[in-house]
Structures are given as structure tokens and as C-alpha cells.
A and B are shown apart, each in its own frame.
Chain A
Amino acid sequence: MSTIIKATNVSKVYHRTTVPVHALNNLTLSIEEGEFTAIVGPSGCGKTTLLNILGGLDHPTSGKVEVAGTDITEMKDSDLIDFRLKNIGFVFQAYNLIPVLTALENVEFIMLLQKENKKVRHQRAMELLTQMDIADKAKNKPSQLSGGQQQRVAVARALASKPRFILADEPTANLDSSSTSNLLDLMARMNKDQKATFIFSTHDQRVMDKARRIVTLEDGTIVSDTTR
């Protein structure tokens, strides 16, 4: 197994208000290929900040982040966009899907950005929707899907781009408990069958229980890191 994320001494300070907020304090973390990792901790502990930095959506104040051997810390925003497209899949808490596109088109869209040809796009999208148990809703618009169904489409889309890893920031925060466990089970299956690397954040105990590695944050510092 190889290391795909290596964050070293990462700190993040927000200066929005007069009092600086230390969201991450000198944090060091590496993620191996094929992991199914949960970043957990109470609200405000820095989970979102960490995932944003690992995903190249934000720059750390200090420290270094390497993704698949590339240092993304100093990368320009415009290069980061291309880097994300090639290497990272995202599942957000909400507003994941393009409302005017069907589930199928949403999954195809990411491959379109990658300039994949029509036939491959369609085939792979249908395959992933099937694996995520949502193929029957392929022609539906997001507004016609439940929250859980939308998140399953979002995971399918994240996988469609064949990323090195998938970041999911509280993907179940808006879901009821059965949708939550259903989504997590599907993600776990994709991790097992497709060797997809998942890093997701949560403050939900039931979600943590599904993870194989649990990294616990408190005030921007890792307080425990356990693998089962």
C-alpha cells in the first residue's frame, strides 16, 4: 500500500474576525491507499477545514500537503482546479448535484469535464448508479430524489472520475438513520470492491462505527488515531 496523502505540520489560522481562530494546529496525518477513514470530533473542531486543505480547496497557513507525491501547498488556484478534477472526488453535505441535470447526467458530467467520450461516460455512469443501487432513478432530476438518493448519486459521481481518493464532508448530516447506514454500507462496499479510498467526516457515532480508521480531532489537533 502506498501513501496518497501526506499532511505535515499543517496549521490553519482564520483572520476573519479581530480574534484569530486557530482551526488546525500543527497537524500531521497520512492516508494510505484503500483506507476507509472517518475524521470525527465535535462541531468546530476543524474537520471541514482539514478536508478542504487535503482536497486542495483551501491553503494551509503553514505546513505542507502532498497528494500522490505532488506538493499542492503552493499550487495556484487555477492549477488546483485541474488537479482536483484528476485526483480527488468530492461528496458534500448538501447541494452536491446540478439541479437541471438528471442523476445520470450528473454522473456523466464529471467525466465530460475529463473529456471522456460519450459511450464510456454513459456506460460507466450506469454501472456506478447500479452499484450505488440508484439506477432506477437515472432519469430523475435531483429534486425528484430523496436526500439519501441524492447522496448515493453524489458518491457515484465522485467515483466516476476515478480519483485517487474521495473526500466526503459530513455526507450523512442531512440524512435519517436508515439512509445514513444505507449510504455508509454502499460506500464501504465500494471501498472493498473497487479499492476506493474514502475519507469522510462525521460527528455521528453510528457513522464512526462503520469506519476502519478513526481520526479524532479536538481543537484542531489529532487526539487519537485508531485502526481496527
Chain B
Amino acid sequence: MIASIAWRNVWRNKGRSLVVIGAMIVGIWSLAFGSGFMQSFLTGYIQSSIKHETSSGQVHHPGFQKDYDINFFIRDPKKLIDAIKSNSAVTSVTSRSIVNGMISSTRQATGVKIIGVEPATEASVTELNSLIHEGEYFEGISRNPVLIGDKLAEKLKVGVKAKVVLTFQDKEGNITAARFRVAGILKATSVSISESTVYVLKDDLNRLLQLDDNVHEIAYVTSTDADDDAIAHDLQSRFPEDKIESWRELSPILVFMEQWMASILKLLILIIMSALAFGIVNTMLMAVLERVRELGMLMALGMRRTKVFTMIMVETIYLSTVGGPVGLLVGYLTITYLGQAGIDLTDYSEGLEAIGYESILYPILQPGDYIQIVVGVILTAFLASLYPAWKAIKLKPIDALHTI
């Protein structure tokens, strides 16, 4: 009966209760939506970084990344590639040779990173071919094709089929220059791709570097749900001579972002929950103060303080949890709908793409996130109910009865 009295008490002041319940729905919805949105943002960012930059994992000579010394190449790339391929989670593998050098046109010269790629496997690992804006992906040029970024093309004032010269030191330290012809121009949000990297065929570069079949970098991608850290770790233990890193190690900024997003999410939850708790406490305090005489009467009759306390707690919990499921349902429906339809951010995409973004977001929430929200709400409701309930039992029956 206490539960039934509490339930009816919630509806004594319908307007006030509805405001709290409404706030609850909006709060929970915005939590669900906010975290779904942020997680898709994060996942999108990580996935686009993995796709275009780090891949799921990479292999180098342990000394290579420090100053790109071309003599630090991977000893037995074939064996490593076979080992990587034998992992069922790996979907594709490619290898590259890399040297720092200079590109010059008849008008301009600038320093670049020159990457020798295998066109077919590179396309399946990084989708480099999808960035072609003008010209062709290593085609249409018979000898020494090169792909350059759009910003770089602008700077050098060259177009497709134009001649450029790449200059670098070979394996022996001799300055080598070779003539290349622009096969295609890449357009990418990444500054590094559009301004300071050029792609040539690995065979061409290796010949010029006198590197034979050696490579500096092996990159591989895995299926989306693979444990990239474990895969890298496993490879590392089998090839101690080389350095094998997952995207998390290759790009600590992504890890930082993951943690940062998680903290922001916690903060968001904290803010929304505090606002809700404040509203609930306020409403329930009002409800208690309005009923001072009635509560005094109940205690005078012989209702124990623990019962009064429970009744007020139950009232508060009812009040706070009626909105919960509704908010959660609305949130779930919103996320599910938008998760399929996507949120089109094309209007704002210039800014987003500048930081490496996709312009359509697909919000996602894991079951765990919903549970976190539900637990948060229940905890908030519980904590928020303590103070008004405590206030209620602090009343002395006679004082309460005499309050006008």
C-alpha cells in the first residue's frame, strides 16, 4: 500500500511531476543521442585514420621511423608478409619503400616523402586509388609514373602528364635524380597526402635506390572487429628483429582521442545527471514541505520514520524512473533511425573534412552504453531521493501538525 500511496502522491501535482518527467525524458534522450553521436564521431575518425593513414598495423625496421634512413629496411619481407597473410583476421597486406627527397618542376622545388607502392595491394589497403582526382591511378604513363597531391600540383604548377624530377640519395649515399611523369593528382583531406607525399611504383623506386626486393614498411588491414593490439603483439613475438605496431601504437593521438571522448562523455553524463538530480530534489522538497502536516499526522498515528522515509524515496524513484524508460526508448529509436539514415553534415563538412572527417555520421550505441545510462539514472534517482526523505523524517509530529 505504501507503494500505491507513493504512486498516487506522485500524481497529486500533475503539472509539476510532468515537468520533472519531461526533463528526465529530454535528459536521457540527449544523453543517448549525445553519446551515440560522439561515438560515431570517434569511430568515424579512427576508422578514417586507419583506412587512410596507419592501417590496422605496420611493420618497420626498428631504426627506420627515427630518421627514415633507407638502409634500415625489413630483412625478409616475404616471410613476414606470408606470416601476416596467414592470420585469418587480416584482409589485405601491402609493402612500401620510402625515401625523403625533393620534387621539382620547371617552376618550383620542394621537399617530399617519396613512397614506392605496389598499386594493386596498396589500393586494397589504403584505397589510394579512390583519392584520384585527375588522371589515372598509375596508368596512362609508360615510364616512371608518379601520383602527387592537389596542393602540391598547385605549388609546382604542374598538371597530369607533366614532367617532374625526383631527387634523393640512394643506398650508397649517392645523389640520384630521375625523371617522372604525373599520372594522377590526388585530392585528400590529409595535409600530408595533398602537400608533402608523392607515390611512385615500388619497383621504380627500388631500382633507383638499389634496394632490390627490400621494403621499409609493410602495412596490413584487418576485419573491423579484430583485436589489432593482439595481432601486432603476436607478430612481434615471432619477428623480434622487426618492429610491429598496431594503429594504437602508431598513432597515440587516436588513443588520446578515445580517452578524451570517454572523459567528455562522463562529464556530459555528470552534467545532465546533476541537472536532473537538482530538479528532482527541488521538486520533492517542495512536495515534502507542502505536506508537512500530513506527514506529521502519519507519524502521530504511528507510521514509523523508516516507512515515511521509504515512502518519500519510493515517490522520488517513481518520479525519476517514469521518464527514464520513455527517454531511453526515444533515444534508442533516434539512434537506431539515424544509425541507418545517417546524419548528413555536408553543410558543415568543409570544417569536418579539414580535420579528416566523413560528412555523414551514423550514431551508434552499444548495449553497454544503454546499461550505463540506465544505471546512471537509477543511481541519480536514488541519491536525489535521500535528501527529501531525510527532510521528511526530521519533522516532529507535533510541530508538523501545528504548522499552518
Contact = CB atoms under 8 A, between A and B. Distances in A.
B60 interface: no
A58 B8 CA distance: 31
A55 B267 CA distance: 53
A78 B294 contact: no
Contacts of A85: 301-303
Nearest to A167: B300
Contacts, number: 59
A19 interface: no
A82 B302 contact: yes
Given A100-B5, A100-B8, A112-B1, A86 B300 contact: no
B301 A78 contact: no
A90 B300 CA distance: 8
Interface string B212-245: 0000000000000000000000000000000000
A183 to B, nearest CB: 18
- Place the interface of chain A in its size category: 20 to 34
Contacts of B396: 77
Decide if the interface of chain B is mainly helix, strand, loop or mixed. Answer: helix
Interface in A67-122: 77-78, 81-82, 84-86, 88, 90, 92, 95-96, 98-101, 105, 108-110, 112-113
Contacts of B297: 90, 92, 95-96
A58 B402 CA distance: 13
Contact of B401 (A92, A98, A100, A108): A92
- Ranked 7 nearest A-B pairs via Cβ: A85-B302, A100-B8, A95-B293, A84-B302, A57-B398, A112-B1, A58-B398
Given A52-B398, A95-B294, 20 more contacts: A57-B300, A57-B397, A77-B396, A78-B304, A78-B305, A81-B299, A81-B304, A82-B304, A84-B300, A84-B302, A85-B303, A92-B297, A92-B300, A95-B293, A96-B297, A99-B12, A108-B1, A109-B5, A112-B1, A113-B301
30 contacts: A52-B398, A57-B300, A57-B397, A58-B398, A78-B305, A81-B299, A81-B302, A81-B303, A81-B305, A82-B304, A84-B300, A85-B301, A85-B303, A88-B302, A90-B297, A90-B300, A92-B300, A95-B294, A95-B297, A95-B401, A99-B294, A100-B5, A100-B8, A100-B12, A101-B5, A101-B8, A105-B1, A109-B1, A109-B5, A161-B302
